[in-house]
Chain A
Amino acid sequence: MKERALQSESSGGLEDRIDAAWIWDRIARVVIFAGGVSAIVLIVAIFVFVANEGLGFALFDLDKGQFFGSPNWRPTTEPEGEFGALALMAGTASVTGLAMLIAVPFSLGAAIYISEFATGRTREILKILIELLAAIPSVVWGFIGLTILNPLIIDMFNVPVGLTVLNAGLILGLMAAPIMTTIAEDALKAVPESYREAAEAMGASRWQVIRQVVLPSAKNGLVAAALLGVGRGFGETMAVLMASGHAVHMPTSPFDSVRALTATIAAELGETAQGSDHYRVLFTLGILLFLVTFVINLLADILVRKGGGKRS
């Protein structure tokens, strides 16, 4: 009965006892809470630091008409640089657009196959493969565009340059597809099995079940998957830098070289003097990128929430 003695000993004022365990619990609570809000602190910090360099320039010094209306990006001309970002936006849009044209149908198809048709081992293996594909670094993708796709495009289409919208779009499509497949598959899996069973019990074929029950119920999640793919393509840097040809040019065909917003920052930031107009306009591009991806992620999140599915 040693225990009991030990307990009654400390019985007096037990309810207010401040022991080591209690103190550690308080400390842990504070530290962990700080960790919990760190994500908020960091995302705010990112905006603040990028805006700190770029916002003042964007608001007071930048010619907005030129920025959004002119395709002439000549940041180093004297005495004043020309900062028309239209061609860069067009470059990003054309590459991302082409990538989505390729990636959306294929990843939706793959997601449907994995979620609705594949079973057991096949399913497991496909999921692992998709996961591994998603892990290939973007600089490797850029390298592939540069060394493998480039000569292939030149040969196949008999064009002088293979670093084009087509090249970057293909690369970006292959890059974004695994991620979109995973998210779309999550959305399909979130459709309750009972819906499928109910439809099958009425004699619907598997395809009818998919088309009339599964796809409509998963609609929000699927749109979110596509949106996140767009966000991913929009923000991709190294692959686009290496595969797009990096020429400031309003694209008129898939065989034109273009330059993307992200790639512009990556290529030019190293050569600018800190605090110069050129330096600051690159941060302004950063603000633009931040805001657009923020809105895309927000929309996707709202859609997923509404769809009741969960985001991995």
Chain B
Amino acid sequence: MSQPTIEGFGATPLDIRNRRNQKAIRLAFGAMTIMLIVPVVIILALLIARGYPALSWDFFTTHPVDNMTKGGILPALVGTLWLVGVALIASVPLGVAAAIYLSEYASDNFLTRLINLAIINLAGVPSIVHALFGLGAFVLFFEFGTSILAASLTLAVMTLPVVIVSTRETLQAVPQSFRLACWSLGATRWQTIRKVVLPNSISGILTGVILEVSRTVGETAPIMFTGAVFFTPHLPVGVLDQTMAMSLHLYSVSTQVTDVPEALPYGVALSLIGMVIVLNSASIAFRMHLRRTKKW
């Protein structure tokens, strides 16, 4: 959308002034966009500058020592992997099923509107309310105790909308004509979904899952009371164990522990944000790759 050129018609002074105004307005909006991004870039640069010295092979592979003022983040790292893994096992099948329902079965009726409203609200409810729910439901009612299982299920409920929404979009991008062709060959709805719709959406679903992982990695409030702990000397060996986690560890070392050397919390913050940015970039790159290699 380029500006209409006026040169050919002999620009009047009014035209020239208008054009100058246009430029100024464009510039003003551009500046607002930049001002939104630049502070964050500066902050990230600061994080990197201050956190980088803390990073080393040992940092990622050793346990914290001396009241968490020294040592590495291994148990937090491993704990986060556990939490994310178990959360995915719970949320991906459920989320994909929900997306299939909305894309392949649901008609535009009251129930569908209700489901959509519920999805929006699952995503919109404050994370601390999810924490209360996790505590009430998984820790106490189902008696999982404060455990990876309880924390992961809480995370799964919270990030479910991410999987549903991205999967639904992917499924809906499969042309309707494929389904019609498939049905008229005598395929059942399920055969159509399994043999045509899903195989052509699998990478799109994966994109959404990566996005969900990145969300899950950073969440703190939902796991504080459901399974993540301040410190434990052991690595988790099962889903009923408690665990440390990266996000809670950052909160702990920056607010709860005294006499921490300055670089340590920056190192944790940098590791956490690094994970999230890498995951998100992967998801974006994957999405762009998909757009380029479309089969139809």
Contact = CB atoms under 8 A, between A and B. Distances in A.
B151 interface: no
B77 interface: no
Nearest to A52: B136
B33 A126 contact: yes
Contacts of A138: 127, 218, 220-221
User: What DSSP secondary structure best describes chain B's contact surface?
Assistant: helix
Contacts of A128: 284
Nearest to B42: A148
Interface in B64-103: 93-98, 100-102
A110 interface: yes
Contact of B135 (A33, A269, A298): A269
A43 B121 contact: yes
Given A52-B136, A235-B125, A35 B100 contact: yes
A42 interface: yes
Contacts of A200: 4
A53 B139 CA distance: 14
Interface string B37-56: 10110010011000000000
Interface residues of A, number: 92
A59 interface: no
B109 interface: no
Contact of B160 (A37, A39, A148): A39
Per DSSP, chain A at the interface is: helix
Given A128-B284, A131-B280, A207-B22, A28 B129 contact: no
A290 B129 contact: yes
Size band of the B side of the interface?
Answer: 35 or more
A43 B106 contact: no
Contacts of B126: 234-237, 262, 289-290, 293
Contact of B121 (A112, A181, A297): A297
A211 B33 CA distance: 18
Interface string B112-154: 0011111111101111111111011100110000000000000
A147 B190 CA distance: 54
Given A28-B193, A109-B32, A206-B22, A265 B105 contact: no
20 contacts: A36-B105, A38-B97, A42-B122, A43-B125, A106-B35, A113-B32, A114-B33, A136-B218, A139-B247, A139-B250, A144-B47, A147-B266, A207-B22, A235-B126, A282-B132, A283-B136, A290-B125, A293-B121, A294-B125, A296-B124
Interface of A: 21-22, 24-25, 28-29, 31-40, 42-43, 45-46, 49-50, 52-53, 105-107, 109-110, 112-114, 116-119, 126, 128-133, 135-140, 142-144, 146-148, 174, 177-178, 181, 200, 205-207, 228, 231-232, 234-238, 242, 262, 265-266, 269-270, 274, 282-283, 286, 289-290, 293-294, 296-298, 300-301, 311-312
